Amino acid sequence: MFTAARSLLTLCLLAAACASASLPPAGAKEQALEIHSRALALRFDEPAVTSVGRLLWRGGLSMTANSRSFGGWSDLHVTPDGHTLTSISDEGSWFTATVDYDAKGNLAGLSGGQIGKLLGLDGQPLVGKVEADAEGMARLPDGSWLVSFEHHHRLWRYPTLSSTPLPVDGPADIGRQPSNGGIETLTALADGRIIAISEEYSLRPGTLVGWIGQPTGTGRYAWQTFEYAKTPDFNPTAIARLPDGSFATIERAFDFVRGVRCRVMRFERAQLKPGGTVRAEELARLASPYAVDNLEGLAVTTGARGETLLWLISDDNFNPLQRNVLLLFELAK
């Protein structure tokens, strides 16, 4: 969770809350969602630029919607056909929408949206930051969703995002993570294994703790650890598997002088093993004047031409100085 930006201009936050008072909040039952999108250029100062690092620009959106609960998007899933997008919020909401493309197959907008609240074990909507801070999301092989939470660190499995969850036994040391530095980086593999990386939990300088969860066949996981080598100031916020079996991650940094910076990273699957250390390489770095915000969600699909597409979504912290952005890139060969 990107808390530094949340502290910016409290008066602006209060003004925004008042301005949105007439908008309906997301309830326990899903509601129709009207998403308003504005097209983004890859570089606002040079709209003709179409690449950064090894990524080719396929379109971007700045998004608002007719719900006070629209925001804080912390992870992302896009169906393999690129048709449907799903995201979860660190305020305990979820939304889905149909992805719209232009004639060139680039990102053009979102339509047919639905929004709702994540439920607790009692079947009631989650309330309060400590309980509702959903940060990571993984689609399991059976179609259910595994969601990781910060503050009250835990893993819950949702048969559908509008249903009552079941608790999942996480790593033994999941509770040792810093309150606001838990598992944001989460994915599931086709064989059912879970990959999770802590945002801030470290056992030695320069690395963060990651876990590999092997399903045991009893609804539980056997957890083993690895380490993720981090760059100073940057911390991982999302992970997705690429078609060649390697992995992409997002790493994010923020300070009040330089603002938000994000790195899109890649590492080979051979590095991901119990007791090993993952050392990812940079594919691209996003910082102003490039399109960027507090990017926390990542999904990967294959396009109509067989190209690898990377989808990135941001958490605006419900701060009027930030944006909910959705970015689409093609990985250059």
Tokens encoding 257: 């002088």
Residue 121 has pLDDT above 90, yes or no: yes
Residue 139's domain is classified under what CATH number? 2.120.10
Q: What Å distances lie between residue 247 and 236, 252, 293, 309, CA to CA?
A: 13, 17, 22, 13
Total Cβ atoms within 10 A of residue 27: 14
For residue 29, what pLDDT is reported?
75
Question: What local confidence, expressed as pLDDT, does residue 278 receive?
Answer: 98
Q: Measuring CA to CA, how many Å separate 194 from each of 28, 88, 146, 189, 215? A: 28, 18, 9, 6, 8
**Confidence (pLDDT) at 219:** 78
pLDDT at 217: 83
Phi, psi of 16 (to 5 degrees): -65, -40
**pLDDT, tens digit, 9 for 90 and up, residues 262-284:** 999 999 999 999 999 999 999 99
Taking only the tens place, the pLDDT of each residue in 147-197 is 999 999 999 999 999 999 999 999 999 999 999 999 999 999 999 999 999
Phi, psi (rounded to 5 degrees) for 71: 155, 175
Segment 31-50, tens digit of pLDDT: 999 999 999 999 999 999 99
Strand ranges inside 171-307, DSSP E: 183-188, 194-198, 207-215, 221-229, 235-241, 247-255, 259-267, 277-278, 281-287, 295-302
pLDDT exceeds 50 at position 210: yes
Could you report the per-residue pLDDT of 175-186, keeping only the tens digit for each? 999 999 999 999
* Per-residue pLDDT at 9 exceeds 80: no
Would you say residue 4 has pLDDT above 90?
no
Structure tokens at 183: 């598992």
Task: Give how many domains the chain has, as a whole number.
Answer: 1
Q: What is the dihedral of CA 150, 154, 124, 18, to 10 degrees?
A: 0
Instruction: Tell me the residue range of the domain where 136 lies.
Output: 3-331
Is the separation of the CB atoms in 158 and 147 below 8 Å? Answer: yes
Write down the pLDDT at residue 8.
Answer: 39
Residue 236's nearest CA partner among 276, 271, 279 is 279
Give the pTM.
0.92
Angle at 31 between CA 90 and CA 131, to 5 degrees: 25
Do the Cβ atoms of 135 and 75 come closer than 8 Å?
A: yes
- Mean pLDDT check: name the lowest of 23-27, 251-255, 270-274: 23-27
Indicate the pLDDT class of residue 296, thresholds 50, 70 and 90: very high
Q: Are 241 and 204 within 8 A, CB to CB?
A: no
Mean confidence (pLDDT) of the chain:
92
pLDDT for residue 19 is more than 60: no
